[in-house]
Amino acid sequence: MSAPMSERQLAPWIAVQTAQLLQQRGHAWLLYGPSGLGQFRLAMEMASAWLCEAVGVDGACGSCASCHSVHVHTHADLCVLMPETTMLQHGWPLSEKAQTEIDDKKRKPSREIRVDAMRDAVEFSQRTSARGRGKVVLVFPAEQMNAITANALLKTLEEPPGDVKFVLATESVHQLLPTIRSRCLGHAMSWPSTAAGQQWLEAHGVPATQSALLLRTAGGRPDEALDSFARGKEVGAWSSTLQALSRGEAAYFKDWAIAHLVDTLQMVCHDAMAQHAGAQPRFFANGDWRGNTSWTALSGWSQALMATRRTMDHPFNTGLMLEALVAQAKTALNSRD
C-alpha cells in the first residue's frame, strides 16, 4: 500500500519546479497540466516555502514551527480551498459551520468549492498575518470553482490586500474563467522522464518488475501510477481488462468506481484510435490489440465518454451505469470498418 499523497517522498521533478518558481516574483500563480503531475504537491511546497521561517533556495526547511503547522494542517496564515469531499479525503479540517451541517445530516459534503468558503478566504486575506510572514491562499482543483465562486475571488486576486499570495492548481485549465487565468502567472507542469518516474515508484514500494508497466498504463504520470498500485491493481491483468471489455463482461468491473472505469475506457478508446491510425498505443502493448476497429464507432464512443465524464458525479444507479458503459465499450470495440 502506498503512502498518502501528503506523506510521499518529494519527487525530484517537483523539487526542481519548486526551486525555479521560488526564484520568480508574483503574488498569484496558476499551476496547470494533466492529472497526476503533482499540481497539489507543488502548490503545497510553494505555500510552505512562502511561510517558512528558515526558507532556503530549494524551498521550505521542513523543520521549523511554521513547516510543522503546515504539515499538520493548522497554520494560521494558510487557507486551503478545496471541495469538501477533497478536504476530507486529504485530512484537511472543514470550517466549523460546514462540519456541523454535514454532521447534522443537513447536507452532504460539496464536490465544488463553495462560494461561502471563498468569501471566508477573501476575509482571511484581509486580516493581519499571525506569524508575520504574510498569508497564502491555495485553491485546488481550481476548476471546481463555479462562476459565482470564481467571481468572488477576482477583485482580491487582482489587488491583494497586504502581503498575501495565491496559488491555484488545476487539472483542467480550459475550464477556468479567462478573467481568472489572466490575473495569474502561469506554470505548465513538467513531465518527469520515464527513468525518474520508475525510480520514484520503486522508492515508494512498487516492485521493479511492475514500475515500467504501471507508469505506461498511467500515461507517464507517476502519482496516478502509484495510486493504481495502492488500489491493488495487477499490471498483469491489463490485457484481461481489454478482453473483458471486448466480451462485455460487466461482472469483471463490479468493484470498480465509475470514475476509475471512465478513465480506463478513455485510455482504451485512445489506444484503439491510435492503433487504427497506425500509431503506437500509449497505455496498452501492441500485442493487446486484435483487428481494426471502426473509426466511426470509436469517434462516437469517444464523444460519448466525454459526455459521461461531465455527468458521472450525478447520483445515477451505479450498477446500471456500469453495465451501460461496458456494453457501450463492447459495441465500439467489436465494430469493424
92 belongs to a structural domain: yes
Q: Pairing mode, if any, of strands 78-81 and 28-32?
A: unpaired
The rounded distance, in Å, linking the Cα atoms of 11 and 226 is 12
Per-residue HEC secondary structure of the chain comes to CCCCHHHCCCCHHHHHHHHHHHCCCCCEEEEECCCCCCHHHHHHHHHHHHHCCCCECCECCCCCHHHHHHHCCCCCCEEEECCHHHHHHCCCCCCHHHHHHHHCCCCCCCCCECHHHHHHHHHHHCCCCCCCCCEEEEECCHHHECHHHHHHHHHHHHCCCCCEEEEEEECCHHHCCHHHHCCCEEEECCCCCHHHHHHHHHHCCCCHHHHHHHHHHCCCCHHHHHHHHHCCCCHHHHHHHHHHHHHCCHHHHCCCCHHHHHHHHHHHHHHHHHHHCCCCCCCCCHHHCCCCECHHHHHHHHHHHHHHHHHCCCCCCHHHHHHHHHHHHHHHHCCEC
Per-residue H/E/C for 26-94: CCEEEEECCCCCCHHHHHHHHHHHHHCCCCECCECCCCCHHHHHHHCCCCCCEEEECCHHHHHHCCCCC
Does residue 28 contact residue 157 with C-beta atoms inside 8 Å? yes
Question: Tell me, what amino acid is at 148?
Answer: I
For residue 75, tell me if it sits in a domain.
yes
CATH code where residue 143 lies: 3.40.50.300
Q: What is the reported pLDDT for 7?
A: 55
C-alpha cell at 9: 517522498
Same domain? For 175 and 72 the reply is yes
Structural domain contains residue 222: no
Residue 195 lies in a domain: no
- Which of these three, 188, 217, 249, is where a domain ends? 188
Assess whether 131 and 74 both reside in one domain.
Answer: yes
Domain closes at, from 188, 206, 226: 188
Q: Whole domain around residue 146: which residue ranges?
A: 5-188
Distance between CA atoms of 203 and 238, rounded to whole angstroms? 23
CA distance 302 to 255: 23
- For residue 235, the model assigns a pLDDT of 53
Distances (CA, A) of 278 to 23, 66, 199: 44, 54, 31
End-to-end alpha-carbon separation of the chain, Å? 44
CB atoms within 10 A of CB 49: 22
Q: Tell me: do 183 and 37 sit in the same domain.
A: yes
Q: Is the peptide bond before 192 cis (omega within 30 degrees of 0)?
A: no
Cα 48–chain centre separation: 20
Q: Give yes or no: residues 252 and 109 share one domain.
A: no
Whether residue 180 is contained in a domain is answered as: yes
Q: Which of 169, 273, 142, 302 is nearest to 223 (CA)?
A: 169
Query: What is the pLDDT, as a whole number, of residue 43?
Result: 97
Q: pLDDT at position 26, please?
A: 87
Distance CA(296)–CA(317), nearest Å, equals: 29
Q: Are residues 253 and 168 in the same domain?
A: no
Encode burial over 52-77: b for 16+ CB neighbours within 10 A, e otherwise: beebeeebbeeebebbebbeeeebeb
148 and 244 assigned to the same domain: no
Do 182 and 47 lie in one domain? The reply is yes
Residue 239 and residue 174 share a domain: no
- The pTM of the full predicted model, rounded to 2 decimals, is 0.80
Q: Are residues 182 and 275 in the same domain?
A: no
Number of domains in the chain: 2
Per-residue pLDDT of the chain (337 residues; tens, 9 = 90+): 444 445 567 899 999 999 999 999 889 999 999 888 999 999 999 999 999 999 998 899 999 999 999 999 999 999 999 999 999 988 899 988 889 999 998 998 998 999 999 999 999 999 989 888 999 999 999 999 989 999 999 989 988 888 899 999 999 999 999 999 999 999 999 999 999 999 999 999 888 888 888 888 788 888 888 887 877 655 556 668 888 999 999 999 988 888 888 988 998 999 889 888 888 887 776 656 666 789 999 999 999 999 998 887 776 788 999 999 999 999 999 998 7
Residues 45 and 173 in one domain: yes
The answer to whether residue 307 is domain-embedded is yes
Q: Are residues 262 and 146 in the same domain?
A: no
Among 161, 188, 215, the domain-final residue is 188
Residue 275 and residue 139 in one domain:
no
